[in-house]
């Protein structure tokens, strides 16, 4: 009796929740915006700047609703998902604005709800819509997304591809230690925990090495090997690809059988829940890429970035007949591929950067067999850390960017102290897009890169006469906003 009562109350509660959820949905439509990118791409900075600019009425001339004065107010509200960590907006903004340091790396999923009250542009809509939009912003690592294709791959497929990739010239030296270790192991030996661990550690060390600055390689799955979160050390994360696997089924009790089971566990306990609970509910998506770093590292890094973007796009809009299609409950209808950190370039190069991203995205769309959603690109800086100026050198006047390089950054043997403002000649991006993708154009021994890349501190914010701090400066953040949410505020 007692138990059926509980059941009844629970069910009634669920029904009520659903009802009130629907009602709330009716009065305040919500839009789920996914923000992703590989680690250090600029996700945290982008979300902080976006929210800060909307809350503080920043200068956003290309964001139509703001420009025409139709936004009455934007404010943070409690997020709808109780089990997802909140995006720590206040901490990140305090770091940026008060301390002028970049926020800490985040490495997991988080969420924030920003509600915008606006006046509709059309009289007709004004009569019917409440003029309120709840924007649920979800920040998650691109590395996790790149796991999606694993769902369609057996352990043997995964092993073969990982081995092939590891042997590519640009990765071969980084993976050598692990490949030697793996080659010496017979997959048919009895399963042994220490062997599994040694292999998993060797494999993760190679993946981590790919991420280092001078290589700037995008990673390959499994994504949690780089960002394990609370699964660190669990069996589902203690496996590695094995070389030269026979097609037949592994002998029960063998190392191969153990690795295969763990690989399957990783898919079941990590990959699937993540997609079901997060990715399939998104409406819009922005994919941030660190094109500046890849450009600095050369064509091999650009090719690698292109492959990562291809795989990321393939996850969002699987074509017909793809096994992923069944997983999706909503449809993402707009995707923005954004190169952030454009403030490292003079504005004359912004369009060139955008052309490079366009080229990268176009090829990725074509290769990913991608259908449906609108894909646009932008070269932007979520937070603009530099100003522009000119410097006279002999008879020439050269364009420079001015900012405070981070402590420890170096140019031509000078090391910066993190306090001194400095003018830097950033170099130009090539006029011809092709050259940055063409391996034959690069100087193979890493000669002078086309652009000189120094990291700057976040900018000092201007204050008005009344002492009010103005919003964070940016480059084309408004264009990104217009594409991502503009139509929902029409
Ligand atoms: N100049 C400039 N630097 C930026 C900008 N956005 C990001 N950065 C730099 O890139 C770094 C990484 O930015 P984050 O926003 O923390 O990147 P993330 O994608 O959240 O990184 P994880 O949390 O590690 O995945 C920052 O510490 C800054 O140094 C920008 O708009 N301008
Ligand atoms: Mg982050």
Which of 29, 28, 76 minimizes the C-alpha distance to 55?
76
Listed in sequence order, the residues at least 6 apart from 398 whose beta carbon sits closer than 8 Å to its beta carbon are: 390, 391, 392, 425
Full-model pTM: 0.86
CA atoms in the 13 A half-sphere facing the CB of 333? 6
Which of 337, 340, 360 minimizes the C-alpha distance to 350?
340
Which SS3 state, helix, strand or coil, does residue 410 take?
strand
CB-ligand 1 contact for 142 (6 Å cutoff): no
CB-ligand 1 contact for 343 (6 Å cutoff): yes
Q: Mean pLDDT of residues grouped by 10 in the chain (490 residues)?
A: 48 51 59 93 97 94 94 94 94 94 91 94 64 94 87 91 91 94 93 95 92 72 82 89 85 95 94 88 94 85 87 74 60 92 91 92 83 89 94 87 92 87 84 78 50 84 73 95 95
In this structure, which residue's CA is closest to atom 26 in ligand 1? 102
User: How does DSSP classify residue 271?
Assistant: I
Give CA–CA dist 453/297, Å, rounded: 10
CB-ligand 1 contact for 144 (6 Å cutoff): no
The residue with tokens 């894909």 is 375
In this structure, which residue's CA is closest to atom 13 in ligand 1? 42
CA of 356 to the centre of ligand 2 (A): 24
> In the prediction, which pLDDT does 45 show?
98
Hey, which of 42, 455, 474 would you mutate to test ligand 1's pocket, going by the most ligand atoms within 8 Å of its Cβ? 42
* 103 CA closest ligand 1 atom index: 16
Asked whether 376 and 487 are in contact (CB, 8 A), the reply is no
CB-ligand 1 contact for 40 (6 Å cutoff): yes
Listed in sequence order, the residues at least 6 apart from 243 whose beta carbon sits closer than 8 Å to its beta carbon are: 159, 163, 179, 182, 183
Give CA–CA dist 161/457, Å, rounded: 40
Cis-peptide into 222, omega within 30 deg: yes
Quick: pLDDT tens for 261-317: 999 999 999 998 998 888 888 999 999 999 988 888 888 888 888 988 888 888 886
CA of 102 to the centre of ligand 2 (A): 10
CA of 445 to the centre of ligand 2 (A): 32
Q: Is 13 left (phi over 0), alpha (psi -120 to 50) or beta?
A: alpha
CB-ligand 1 contact for 38 (6 Å cutoff): no
Quick: pLDDT tens for 298-312: 888 888 889 888 888
Give CA–CA dist 315/178, Å, rounded: 29
> In the prediction, which pLDDT does 323 show?
59
Which SS3 state, helix, strand or coil, does residue 284 take?
strand
CB-ligand 1 contact for 43 (6 Å cutoff): yes
Which SS3 state, helix, strand or coil, does residue 31 take?
strand
* 47 CA closest ligand 1 atom index: 15
What the block records as the tokens of 353 is 């950067």
The residue with tokens 């009250």 is 117
CA of 254 to the centre of ligand 1 (A): 44
What the block records as the tokens of 399 is 């364009």
CA of 44 to the centre of ligand 1 (A): 7
CB atoms within 10 A of CB 447: 8
CB-ligand 1 contact for 48 (6 Å cutoff): no
Ligand 2 is a single-atom ion; what residues have CB below 5 A from it?
Answer: 43-44, 106
Could you tell me how many helices (H) and strands (E) the chain has, helices first? Answer: 15, 12
* 380 CA closest ligand 1 atom index: 31
Asked whether 166 and 209 are in contact (CB, 8 A), the reply is no
* 381 CA closest ligand 1 atom index: 31
Hey, which of 37, 45, 223 would you mutate to test ligand 1's pocket, going by the most ligand atoms within 8 Å of its Cβ? 45
Alpha helices in 243-386 (DSSP H): 255-266, 272-277, 291-297, 299-316, 350-367
Alpha helices in 82-215 (DSSP H): 89-93, 123-128, 142-145, 155-166, 169-183, 193-211
* 49 CA closest ligand 1 atom index: 31
CA of 41 to the centre of ligand 1 (A): 6
CA of 42 to the centre of ligand 2 (A): 7
CB-ligand 1 contact for 41 (6 Å cutoff): yes
Asked whether 197 and 262 are in contact (CB, 8 A), the reply is no
In this structure, which residue's CA is closest to atom 5 in ligand 1? 341
Kindly report the length of the chain. 490
With b meaning 16 or more CB within 10 Å and e meaning fewer, what string describes 300-330?
Answer: bbbbbbbbbbbbbbbbbbbeeeeebeebbee
Maximum separation of any 2 CA atoms in the chain, in Å: 94
Which of 236, 231, 229, 240 minimizes the C-alpha distance to 205?
240
């Amino acid at each position: 009796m007692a138990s059926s009562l509980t059941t009844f109350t629970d069910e009634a509660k669920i029904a009520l929740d659903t009802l009130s959820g629907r009602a709330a949905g009716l009065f305040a439509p919500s839009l789920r915006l996914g923000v992703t990118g590989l680690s250090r791409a600029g996700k945290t900075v982008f979300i902080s700047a976006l929210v800060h600019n909307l809350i503080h009425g920043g200068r956003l001339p290309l964001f139509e609703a703001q420009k025409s004065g139709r936004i009455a107010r934007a404010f943070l509200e409690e997020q709808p998902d109780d089990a997802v960590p909140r995006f720590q907006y206040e901490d990140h903004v305090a770091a940026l604005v008060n301390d002028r340091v970049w926020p800490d790396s985040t490495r997991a999923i988080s969420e924030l709800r920003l509600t915008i009250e606006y006046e509709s542009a059309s009289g007709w809509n004004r009569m019917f819509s409440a003029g309120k939009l709840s924007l649920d912003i979800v920040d998650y690592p691109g590395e996790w997304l790149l796991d999606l294709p694993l769902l369609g791959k057996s352990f043997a497929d995964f092993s073969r591809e990982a081995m092939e990739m590891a042997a590519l010239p640009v990765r071969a030296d980084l993976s050598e230690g692990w490949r030697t270790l793996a080659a010496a192991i017979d997959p048919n030996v009895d399963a042994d925990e220490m062997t599994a661990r040694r292999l998993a550690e060797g494999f993760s060390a190679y993946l981590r090495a790919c991420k280092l600055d001078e290589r700037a390689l995008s990673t390959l799955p499994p994504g949690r090997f780089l960002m394990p979160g609370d699964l660190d050390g669990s069996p589902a994360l203690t496996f590695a690809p094995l070389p030269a696997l026979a097609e037949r089924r592994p002998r029960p009790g063998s190392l191969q059988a153990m690795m295969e089971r763990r690989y399957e566990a990783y898919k079941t306990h990590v990959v699937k829940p993540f997609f079901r609970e997060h990715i399939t509910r998104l409406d819009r998506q922005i994919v941030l890429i660190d094109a500046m770093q890849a450009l600095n590292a050369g064509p091999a890094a650009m090719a690698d970035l292109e492959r990562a973007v291809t795989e990321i796009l393939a996850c969002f809009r699987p074509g017909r007949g793809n096994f992923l299609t069944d997983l999706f409950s909503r449809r993402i209808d707009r995707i923005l591929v954004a190169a952030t950190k454009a403030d490292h370039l003079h504005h004359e190069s912004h369009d060139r950067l955008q052309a490079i991203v366009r080229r990268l995205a176009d090829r990725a769309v074509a290769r990913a067999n991608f259908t449906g959603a609108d894909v646009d690109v932008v070269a932007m800086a979520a937070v603009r850390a530099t100003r522009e100026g000119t410097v006279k050198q002999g008879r020439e006047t050269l364009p420079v960017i001015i900012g405070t390089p981070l402590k420890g950054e170096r140019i031509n043997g000078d090391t910066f102290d993190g306090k001194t403002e400095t003018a830097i000649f950033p170099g130009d991006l090539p006029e011809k897009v092709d050259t940055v993708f063409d391996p034959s154009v690069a100087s193979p021994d890493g000669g002078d890169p086309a652009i000189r890349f120094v990291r700057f501190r976040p900018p000092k914010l201007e204050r008005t006469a009344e002492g009010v701090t103005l919003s964070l400066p940016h480059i084309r953040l408004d264009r990104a906003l217009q594409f991502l949410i503009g139509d929902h505020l029409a």
